Structure 1
Amino acid sequence: MSRTVTLVLVDHAGVPLGALPPYDLPEPWWQEVASVVAEARRRHGLDVAVLRLLAADRPEPPGGHVTYLGEVPGRPSVPLDPVSVDLSPEPLRAPWAEPGGPARSLAWATAELRRLGRPATVVAQQRAWNLSAIWRLDGDGGSAWLKQVPAFLRHEAAVLRWLGHAVPGTAPTLLADDGSGRMLLDHVPGDDRYEAGSDERAAIAADHHAIQLRAAGDVARLVAAGLPDRRGSALARWIRAALAPHDPSIVADLLTGLDARLEEVRRFGLPDTLVHGDLHPGNVRSDGERRVIIDWGDSFVGHPAFDILRLTETLDPATAGPLLEAWAARWRADVPGCDPERAVTLLRPVAALRLAAVFAMFLAGIEPSERPFHVNDVPACLDRAALTSFPEGQAAVRPLP
């Protein structure tokens, strides 16, 4: 699978200039723009900053014909195709998706690196979509990453700051942040571990248990620092509010018994703690010697079972079983008298509901042209919630006896 890219260009003032001829890229993922930028430079000698997605010929990624808005300095000398494009203001537009936005963020990041004695000599855009803009900055002092996120994910900086103090080495080092969603992160060597097998997942789960055990005594501080509070009834209220705009006939059934279920889970004795929120292997980076958990923007304070459910959700029962058993044994050893297995059983459908609410939050907080990234995720998670509640496929969460 590949993608065909059309770049519609504007200058720093947002004046439309026209479009480059379409070109093909082997990488299908819409948010990955390093190859988009590199090919525009190779073909046309242009330095482009990709601002945002404008349109796609498919309802969701990956692949297909994708049109982006890109910013260039001045008017290019290369021929451009005339194009009609709506560049109207949009209140939900990300700050990096506006003309001048990348330049402002890079100016902040390069100034911070100079302050740290690590001036950047080369910058390269890596990603641009509704959840983040990412740039790599290289210099004689090493590599760093500018990551900018929307307001509803900006607590990631607070999490990284806490992790760096409480459990150093388990997450990227936060070099600087500006409180608005801009973060400057130190480079983490290695690869994202999307293809991790069961042994590596077991090691990830053990690493994360140490983080969660340490965080259990610091939940008040984490909430005060800005982490979303998803403990017990607060989680139920947030799920209901996030899913309220979606199909009421499905959502109402799935929410049946949710408060009673969460109250029952509380009785099983596991402490609330820091939850990563999206602990799949692709959010772990390793060079073969150490593992670092990345992308903490979905984090919250809540029940620790949500992370082991996410780490094992794509595995068959025979593979997931030992990972869940080891996770439960660690908690029983550290919190005598708790019942982790029962907690996992009751939270499995809630985990899918929570993910549906996360995607609903994304949809509510991003501009319309970017919604194809997530629009099918909410119904998919609701379907999974129904199936995990009733394996026979009925459409309601089983009320507690």
Structure 2
Amino acid sequence: MSRVVTLVLVDPTGAVLGALPPYEVPMPWWQEVADVVDGARQHYGVDVTVLRLLRASRDRPHGGEVVYAAELRGPGTPSIVDADGADVAALTPHARRAPWAEAGGPGATTAWAADRLAARGRLVVRTRQQRTWNLSAIWRVETVSADGGGPGPVDITRDPAWIKQVPPFFAHEAAVLRWLGRALPGAAPELLDAAAPGRLLLAHVPGTELYEAGAAERDELAARMHRIQLRAAADLDRLLADGLPDLRGHRLADRIRVVLAAYAPDDPALTALADGLDARLAAVAACALPDTLVHGDLHPGNAIGRPGARVIIDWGDAFAGHPAFDILRLTDGVPEAPELIASWAARWRADVPGSDPEHAVALLAPVAALRNAAVYAGFLDRIEPSEAPFHAADVPFWLDAARALR
């Protein structure tokens, strides 16, 4: 599966220039744009920065025909551009548009990062856009030492950094990374700098994501998260004061009920779940595990590094709540889930004598699905409509999962 991409080009002021003819890129994932940028250069000799999704031929990710807004880098208008092919209506301003999705926004963020790296004695020699969508924009930055790196050829890949920019509802990610850097160095990427609006400058982490992780690697990841959560339980008040969202107890129940009222007001199974949420969460509390820092999206793709030294990335979904939410996410759809949950539970029983981790997991399974539905509903409430296809199918998916788990 691949994508057929059309780019509607704008200049740095946002003025519409026209559209490039469609071209195919190998990666189907809508938010991954490195090959989109490469394709524009290879096919048409133009340098662009992708700003945002305008529309797609499919109502859910991924593949198909996809149209993006892209900012032309450099002067002039390419002769290949079709002035009549631009979707001008989709380029009108929108109140919920991300800063990096506007013309000039990516340039402001990469300039900020270059300035902060220069203050650290590192000069930017290349910036490569990797991803953009309503939840983040990511660039890889290649740098050299400001003193030239000494004699001999310069290897521009030897000292990379990463720029990440997130929306206001993920603004707490910087605070979580700062806390992790102080409390458990090496558990997460090093935060080099941060600034509004949602800008993060991160140190490079060698290694690859663990998307194809087996049971042993998932268990190792669960053990690393367990150490983080033990430490965070004692510092939860500080994390909350720094902006970590609070989804403990009734706050989570209240949020779920709002979403169910909007998306499934007449569903008897989900109504019964909603009506029983307070009693269910009281039973979870009786299992005696502490509230702590929850990653919120703990799957192997959000871990990177080498065996025995995995680094957990992407903390934007983090919240204060029950640790079982992370093991439920980590084992979702995995045949070895019972064994992994048993291993997770043994760690908690050893550190919290008298607790009942297994019962907490069983009670929270449908609640985790409802929380996921609420997360995606929250995204849809706070992003511009043209990017809704990224998430619209996720709310009914997780409501169906909760119904099956009730």
Contact 2:31 2:132 in 1 (8 A): yes
Asked if 1:291 is matched to 2:292, the reply is no
Contact 1:137 1:144 in 2 (8 A): yes
Distance 1:289 1:324 in 2: 20
User: Structure 1 residues 84 and 77, CA, compared in 2 at 3 Å: closer, same or farther?
Assistant: closer
Structure 2 gap segments, 5+ residues each: 146-158
Structure 2 partner of 1:197: 214
Asked if 1:67 is matched to 2:44, the reply is no
Alignment of 1:387-398 (within 5 A): 387-389=404-406
- Partner letter of residue 22 of structure 2? P
Match of 1:257 among 276, 300, 316: 276
Structure 1 partner of 2:298: 279
Structure 2 partner of 1:172: 189
Distance 1:300 1:65 in 2: 36
Distance 1:134 1:271 in 2: 34
Distance 2:135 2:103 in 1: 18
Q: Deviations over 1:49-70 (max 9, x none)?
A: 0000011100111110000000
Distance 1:56 1:92 in 2: 19
Alignment of 1:2-81 (within 5 A): 2-72=2-72, 73-81=74-82
- Partner letter of residue 198 of structure 2? G
- Partner letter of residue 334 of structure 1? D
Asked if 1:347 is matched to 2:364, the reply is yes
Asked if 1:100 is matched to 2:117, the reply is no
User: Structure 1 residues 377 and 50, CA, compared in 2 at 3 Å: closer, same or farther?
Assistant: same
- Partner letter of residue 116 of structure 2? E
Structure 2 partner of 1:398: none
- Partner letter of residue 68 of structure 1? Y
Alignment of 1:309-348 (within 5 A): 309-316=328-335, 319-348=336-365
Contact 1:269 1:339 in 2 (8 A): yes
Q: Note the C-alpha offset of 1:233.
A: 1.0
**Identity among equivalent pairs (%):** 59
- Say which SS state the counterpart of residue 134 (structure 1) adopts: strand
Q: Note the C-alpha offset of 1:321.
A: 1.1
Q: Note the C-alpha offset of 1:242.
A: 4.1
Q: Note the C-alpha offset of 1:13.
A: 0.8
Count of aligned pairs between the two proteins? 387
Q: Note the C-alpha offset of 1:329.
A: 0.7
Match of 1:373 among 390, 395, 403: 390
Structure 2 partner of 1:394: none
Distance 1:42 1:108 in 2: 28
Asked if 1:159 is matched to 2:160, the reply is no
Q: Note the C-alpha offset of 1:243.
A: 4.2
Q: Deviations over 1:193-246 (max 9, x none)?
A: 010000100111111100000001011001000000111111111222344432
Structure 1 gap segments, 5+ residues each: 390-401
What is the root-mean-square deviation of aligned Cα atoms in Å? 1.1
- Say which SS state the counterpart of residue 376 (structure 2) adopts: helix
Farther off after superposition, 174-183 or 164-173: 174-183
Farther off after superposition, 268-277 or 136-145: 136-145
User: Structure 1 residues 243 and 186, CA, compared in 2 at 3 Å: closer, same or farther?
Assistant: farther
- Partner letter of residue 48 of structure 2? V
- Partner letter of residue 395 of structure 2? V
Q: Note the C-alpha offset of 1:118.
A: 1.5
Distance 2:20 2:75 in 1: 15
TM-score relative to the length of structure 1:
0.94
Match of 2:264 among 243, 247, 250: 247
Q: Deviations over 1:167-209 (max 9, x none)?
A: 1101000000004311000011111101000010011111110
Distance 1:84 1:112 in 2: 36
- Say which SS state the counterpart of residue 216 (structure 1) adopts: helix
- Partner letter of residue 85 of structure 2? V
Structure 2 partner of 1:396: none
Structure 2 partner of 1:359: 376
Contact 2:294 2:321 in 1 (8 A): yes
Distance 1:181 1:102 in 2: 12
TM-score relative to the length of structure 2:
0.93
Structure 2 partner of 1:395: none
Contact 1:277 1:306 in 2 (8 A): yes
- Say which SS state the counterpart of residue 24 (structure 1) adopts: strand
- Say which SS state the counterpart of residue 13 (structure 1) adopts: coil
Contact 1:112 1:176 in 2 (8 A): yes
